[in-house]
Amino acid sequence: MPIGFAIYPRTRKVSPELVERFRTLPVANVSDSMSRLTAAGPRLRPMHTAGVLAGPALTVRTRPGDNLMLHKAIDMAEPGDVIVVDGGGDLTNSLMGEMMLAHAIKRGVAGFVVNGSIRDADAIRVTNLPLFAAGVSHRGPYKNGPGEINVVIAIDGMTIAPGDLVLGDADGVLAVGYDDAEAVCKAATAKHAAETRQMAEIEAGTSDREWVNVSLRQLGCSGLD
């Protein structure tokens, strides 16, 4: 078997119930609950018009500019999957466009994360399936391989294993490890509830801002009233 050219089974994935619980949480709150250490980088931006990305990862590692294994991943995808593609961040050739997106929708794919380029950007915005990518290029892909499906991949230091929770909104993309997902969801839910209360206090004019002065005094700032 050639090295770097293989398809593996996915042995586990986060449950649909857990995915729906994450869907209501801002990515920023989830990120804060993970100690602000995990991120896929600012280059991955939403190419769709609006909407939340949430689902278990089906991972693809491919040679930059080649989408053969991405085609296979779409054929393998289960309803609700998020296909996450490590294309090395190369933006020269697009890895997918309108036709592949249409096929993925028929398969019930929940969305895509592409560390590379896409094309048919206008059609993708209109279709509005959640899709995050690093760029856009009209130049098409090659279909020669190699590549791997259902392996651990990394995007800008963020690792994604098959079956991990993938979440995305206008602030970017975040992966939550399978083993940590339940604990992170509980912490992020509490964080979101606390921020909702803070927003209500701001609107009511009752927000206590004394913590700012307390912090400045503790840090030795001079000139405070």
120 labelled as ligand-binding? yes
Per-residue pLDDT of 60-104, as tens digits, reads: 999 999 999 999 999 999 999 999 999 999 999 999 999 999 999
Q: Write out the DSSP string of 136-171.
A: E-SSPPB----EEESS-EEETTEEE-TT-EEEEETT
199 labelled as ligand-binding? no
97 labelled as ligand-binding? yes
pTM exceeds 0.75: yes
Looking at residue 17, its pLDDT comes to: 98
99 labelled as ligand-binding? yes
Q: Assess whether pLDDT exceeds 70 at residue 1.
A: no
65 labelled as ligand-binding? no
Domains and CATH numbers, the chain: 6-188 (3.50.30.40)
Tell me which of 225 and 19 has the higher pLDDT: 19
87 labelled as ligand-binding? no
